Structure 1
């Protein structure tokens, strides 16, 4: 496996891309066509479903920024990493751990998210 950190960093960039065209381009370049995202609160399937899910989060939390909060751990075709979401320069309101599977071409096949911190 090549270093998966750039794939994960592109994934984080998708969550921060507020221009719909830029976000769709990032999704297409980072996710397999049949990619799927799942966490306890939402899911998205395929490029359109993942894009719509992220757009919904951005609408609910306008101006929030997602960042990776630790190193990317990987083996075989699996990755895991921690992240946080909140206003720039402020304490994050949401944080969690994601576990992903990489497709043969190096793009994301799936992400399963675990939420460690959510707003009340």
Structure 2
């Protein structure tokens, strides 16, 4: 599951459209769902659009793992940070990722723990 979380963060960090498309095709289910306080989308194309919007809003920022990954069955929960590369995260969130039978990301539920004023 640590590898899944790494691939998940790689997807959010993809700045090249081709790399993003490849990561989504390889590691996300066709009918994936992504829900957080700011978005509720279904399907790889909608997830890609959401990621691209976040990347545009926070250019040069990177997503990093914060703490350990907690897993059971086909799901993982973990904290992530978003901020300038090599610096403390400005935003911290918490996601739960559920996999399908092919070990691809099927469902993500995200929460924002720390957001600047």
Partner Cα separation in structure 2 for residue 101 and residue 14 of structure 1: 16
The partner residue of 2:89 within 56, 75, 92 is 92
Poorly superposed stretches of 4+, deviation over 4 Å: none
Query: For each residue in 1:14-50, what CA deviation from the matched residue of structure 2 results, as whole angstroms up to 9, or x when unmatched?
Result: 1111001101110111110000110111122111000
Give the alignment of 1:31-46 within 5 angstroms: 31-46=28-43
Partner Cα separation in structure 1 for residue 26 and residue 116 of structure 2: 31
Partner Cα separation in structure 1 for residue 64 and residue 96 of structure 2: 15
Query: 1:9 Cα deviation (Å)?
Result: 0.4
Normalised TM-score (structure 1): 0.93
Q: Does 1:79 align with 2:76?
A: yes
- Which consecutive residues of structure 1, in runs of 5 or more, have no partner in the other structure? none
SS of 2:26's equivalent in the other structure is helix
Q: Does 1:61 align with 2:58?
A: yes
1:51 counterpart residue number: 48
SS of 2:116's equivalent in the other structure is coil
Structure with bigger strand share is: 2
2:16 counterpart residue number: 19
Corresponding pairs, count? 117
Alpha-carbon RMSD across the aligned residues, in angstroms, is 0.9
Partner Cα separation in structure 2 for residue 53 and residue 110 of structure 1: 15
Q: Does 1:101 align with 2:70?
A: no
